[in-house]
């Protein structure tokens, strides 16, 4: 192979590679996160709402990737509530839906969500947090005595900051 042919071959081989690298570099994703102060307000609002009803709960806020942003264990909340509230938030973020809606949709059906995916639980108390139409996180509340109490408290926490989630 002469020098001109070798140079042409080298150039031909690098163009697709550098083009592919450029395409990948252009694919950056912009995300929005819940600031720590707002996450703290959400968990405080949720725990407070339940405390006013006489229930000791734990609330957890996660970002859309499932990373804990804030956790508050209310006075008297039992030990398992830290885990259950996280799993409820994780489930809401995973399915981009409040868990109470997932529970309703699954009634009368056998669901194997809990056995197939780690940290996924089919229980009310997980509420999706949105900025406009974009899901940016979730809050989970655990420890209420059933029905929709955990969901009510989680929604109360989000309501405290909803106007600032823009």
- The mean pLDDT of 89-98, rounded to a whole number, is 97
Distance in angstroms (rounded) separating the CA atoms of residues 58 and 71:
7
pLDDT of residue 111: 62
Greatest pairwise CA separation for the chain in angstroms: 86
Task: For the chain, give the mean pLDDT.
Answer: 86
Distance in angstroms (rounded) separating the CA atoms of residues 166 and 139:
17
DSSP bridge pairs for 103:
none
Pick the CATH number of 36-164 from 3.40.640.10, 3.30.450.150, 3.10.310.30, 3.30.450.20: 3.30.450.150
Tell me: pLDDT of 132 over 90: yes
pLDDT of residue 115: 59
- The mean pLDDT of 153-162, rounded to a whole number, is 98
> Which pTM value belongs to this model?
0.81
Q: pLDDT tens digits, residue range 6-46? A: 444 444 444 444 444 444 567 898 889 999 999 999 999 99
């Amino acid at each position: 192979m002469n020098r001109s042919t070798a140079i042409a071959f080298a150039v031909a081989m690098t163009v697709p590679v550098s083009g592919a690298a450029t395409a990948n570099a252009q694919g950056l994703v912009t995300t929005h996160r819940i600031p720590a102060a707002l996450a703290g307000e959400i968990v405080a609002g949720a725990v407070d709402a339940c405390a006013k009803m006489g229930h000791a709960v734990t609330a957890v806020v996660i970002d859309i990737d499932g990373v804990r942003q804030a956790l508050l264990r209310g006075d008297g909340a039992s030990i398992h509530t830290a885990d259950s509230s996280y799993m409820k938030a994780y489930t809401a973020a995973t399915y981009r839906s409040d868990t109470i809606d997932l529970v309703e949709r699954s009634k009368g059906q056998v669901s194997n969500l809990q056995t197939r995916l780690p940290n996924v639980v089919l229980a009310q108390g997980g509420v999706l947090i949105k900025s406009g139409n974009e899901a940016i996180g979730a809050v989970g509340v655990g420890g209420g005595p059933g029905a929709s109490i955990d969901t009510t408290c989680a929604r109360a926490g989000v309501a405290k900051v909803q106007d600032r989630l823009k």
